Chains A and B, each alone.
Chain A
């Protein structure tokens, strides 16, 4: 078999084609491999642009180096949020899920045209939204969207921004349909079998996604698009905020689930062992489906207009949402330990030395998991309804989520890329030592940036602000000085950016590498306790979907009703605040 090489993304061909074994993914499913490559390409371009803006922000808001005007800071911050938290994460997810679903169901999607349809829809959405954000930097174009990735009305972006977002989400919906059709096709051939684990993870995650994107879809399609086009009045700010957070919390699990998929199904193999327990993995994903959505109000602990009781319910659900992550910590460590003992590791801690630390894919995922544990702790502080008042909207919060999405997810994705890119390109990884250095550098950079952000937050320094200080008062650090915290943020940001550049270079050189990838033959090993040990009911996707819907109705119907009852859909007195360009990109060189 061979694939024609008409485009740069079509790199699934090495000079020596015969080197790729017939059972390797790229030879069996060349079209899917190409889909994965396209998704990864989008993800990495978004990562490059977002990361560049990240380091500019880190240097600007700490007053270390300034290349932009403070008013443009928010254009970059919007791009940073959208490109990294939406485009990078979700395109990478799409690639991983397309790979995992196909691999575990052992069949390609039914109709490649449909597959390209969702890739195209997501791409179009990205280009529209991304373009309308970046247009804010160009004086000549009368389009901008400096509304940050939370786009709270009545801040108003150009309609293209909202239309692009809607298209992007529709693209992900179509992708989910594609994966479900693949599954139904498999089910027809295997009426009595347990859903393969990876496919189970893909499907439960997508069910969670359908349920949770309902909030943002209604917000954008029913309210924001007609309003930005001037067809309808401004929607009630509290209502659109609440709809946003209906989606805004579960989206964090949408980022996390592909990382969990890698931790559960690939990491054990990398460590030389097998997943500890397949049933527990299923339980974890079902819990995420059930609990991810009815918690969004925990982002609104400080909002007026929402009764304390509703906040309390969200808090309780949030705390229970810790459970699947705590279970994951156990399973992952147990599986890795099993792997180490297979490699001859011994002793209480001695087994740690029997792990493949030189493998950037392994080490990257382990460091990501370690940082996730730290992020979990600061997350518990956020979730605590009353302690949240100390840190809400301070820079503590970016400190927290750079550990979670910015590392647990992003670093796992980078590590996964070191393993997966050779599998979808057929080309050997350019350099493992450089990869190892890169993931460790990310860990170090993030330690600096995130720790200092957490501390700055305790001193009251707000997030989302271009200036390091105010004229009227100064912040006081609990430990150390504010200026040393600033330096640490800037220094960490620079290390992260360097790490990112090295990653992208390593991947680009891999894509151009003429050496064929090796080790493509081996398949992922089955779990120690297999699916046959788990109750059949875990595979009843319909049942779980219905319970998830009921939980969401319980958590959200009263708060939404009370908002609508109090303020209506279109509250009096709200006027749009268009975030129009101050059309200057002042590059002070």
Chain B
């Protein structure tokens, strides 16, 4: 059983979109310019994938620990 319901994944995914869009802008404040939107989306796509994996896998580990 995964930790996150499809609805929760949908909402988390949606929340990552504005973050991915604003990320290059935030980076300009710390002096990193020309960080492309494409790269930012790829990055947060990976973050989403990681969350997905965590949601599916971590629980398996948890359950083997006896919950």
Residues of A within 8 A of B (CB): 357-358, 363, 367, 433, 436-437, 440, 443-444, 447-448, 451, 479-480, 484, 488
Chain B residue contacts of A448, Cβ below 8 A: 17, 21
Chain B residue contacts of A479, Cβ below 8 A: 24-25, 28, 33
List CB contacts (< 8 Å) of B13-67 with chain A: 14, 17-18, 21-22, 24-25, 28, 33, 36-38
Chain A residue contacts of B7, Cβ below 8 A: 357-358, 433, 436
Contact B14–A436 (Cβ < 8 Å): no
Contact A480–B17 (Cβ < 8 Å): no
Contact A488–B14 (Cβ < 8 Å): no
B11 lies within 8 A of chain A by Cβ? yes
Chain B residue contacts of A363, Cβ below 8 A: 11
Q: How many residues of B contact A (CB 8 A)?
A: 18
Contact B17–A444 (Cβ < 8 Å): yes
Contact A480–B18 (Cβ < 8 Å): no
Contact A451–B21 (Cβ < 8 Å): yes
Minimum CB–CB distance for A479 against chain B, Å? 5
- Nearest neighbor of B24 in chain A, beta-carbon distance: A479
Tell me the complex Cα distance, A484–B36, Å: 9
**Which DSSP category, helix, strand, loop or mixed, fits chain B's interface?**
helix
B10 lies within 8 A of chain A by Cβ? yes
Tell me the complex Cα distance, A343–B49, Å: 31
Minimum CB–CB distance for B10 against chain A, Å? 5
- For the A-B complex, the count of residue pairs with Cβ-Cβ distances under 8 Å equals 39
Q: What are 26 A-B interface contacts by the 8 Å CB criterion? A: A357-B8, A363-B11, A367-B14, A433-B6, A433-B7, A436-B10, A440-B11, A440-B14, A443-B14, A443-B17, A444-B14, A447-B17, A447-B18, A447-B21, A448-B17, A448-B21, A451-B18, A479-B25, A479-B28, A479-B33, A480-B36, A480-B37, A484-B37, A484-B38, A488-B21, A488-B37
4 tightest Cβ-Cβ pairs between the two chains A and B: A358-B7, A440-B14, A447-B18, A451-B21
Minimum CB–CB distance for A166 against chain B, Å? 41
- Nearest neighbor of B8 in chain A, beta-carbon distance: A357
Chain B residue contacts of A440, Cβ below 8 A: 10-11, 14
Tell me the complex Cα distance, A358–B17, Å: 19
Minimum CB–CB distance for A366 against chain B, Å? 10
Chain A residue contacts of B38, Cβ below 8 A: 484
Chain B residue contacts of A436, Cβ below 8 A: 7, 10
Minimum CB–CB distance for A328 against chain B, Å? 22
Tell me the complex Cα distance, A357–B4, Å: 13
Residues of B within 8 A of A (CB): 5-8, 10-11, 14, 17-18, 21-22, 24-25, 28, 33, 36-38
Tell me the complex Cα distance, A446–B6, Å: 22
Tell me the complex Cα distance, A448–B6, Å: 22
Tell me the complex Cα distance, A233–B39, Å: 58
Minimum CB–CB distance for A64 against chain B, Å? 16
Tell me the complex Cα distance, A433–B17, Å: 20
Contact of B22 among A367, A444, A451, A484 (CB under 8 A): A451
Given contacts A357-B8, A367-B14, A451-B18, 19 further A-B contacts (CB under 8 A): A357-B11, A433-B6, A433-B7, A436-B7, A436-B10, A437-B10, A440-B10, A443-B14, A447-B18, A451-B21, A451-B22, A479-B24, A479-B33, A480-B24, A480-B36, A480-B37, A484-B36, A484-B38, A488-B37
Minimum CB–CB distance for A314 against chain B, Å? 31
- Nearest neighbor of A437 in chain B, beta-carbon distance: B10
Minimum CB–CB distance for B9 against chain A, Å? 10
Tell me the complex Cα distance, A437–B28, Å: 33
- Nearest neighbor of A452 in chain B, beta-carbon distance: B21
- Nearest neighbor of A479 in chain B, beta-carbon distance: B25
Tell me the complex Cα distance, A519–B25, Å: 46
Tell me the complex Cα distance, A275–B5, Å: 29
Minimum CB–CB distance for A516 against chain B, Å? 25
- Nearest neighbor of B20 in chain A, beta-carbon distance: A447
Tell me the complex Cα distance, A283–B64, Å: 56
Minimum CB–CB distance for A574 against chain B, Å? 45
* Most chain B Cβ neighbours within 10 Å, of A433, A440, A484: A440
Chain B residue contacts of A484, Cβ below 8 A: 36-38
Tell me the complex Cα distance, A433–B6, Å: 10
Tell me the complex Cα distance, A440–B16, Å: 12
Chain A residue contacts of B33, Cβ below 8 A: 479
Chain A residue contacts of B10, Cβ below 8 A: 436-437, 440
* Most chain B Cβ neighbours within 10 Å, of A448, A480, A484, A488: A480
- Nearest neighbor of A366 in chain B, beta-carbon distance: B11
Minimum CB–CB distance for A146 against chain B, Å? 34
Tell me the complex Cα distance, A444–B18, Å: 8
Tell me the complex Cα distance, A367–B10, Å: 13
Chain A residue contacts of B21, Cβ below 8 A: 447-448, 451, 488
Chain B residue contacts of A437, Cβ below 8 A: 10
Tell me the complex Cα distance, A448–B14, Å: 11
Chain A residue contacts of B37, Cβ below 8 A: 480, 484, 488
* Most chain B Cβ neighbours within 10 Å, of A437, A447, A484: A447
Tell me the complex Cα distance, A447–B5, Å: 23
Minimum CB–CB distance for A482 against chain B, Å? 12
Minimum CB–CB distance for A203 against chain B, Å? 37
Tell me the complex Cα distance, A210–B5, Å: 48
Chain A residue contacts of B11, Cβ below 8 A: 357, 363, 440
Minimum CB–CB distance for A345 against chain B, Å? 15
Chain A residue contacts of B14, Cβ below 8 A: 367, 440, 443-444
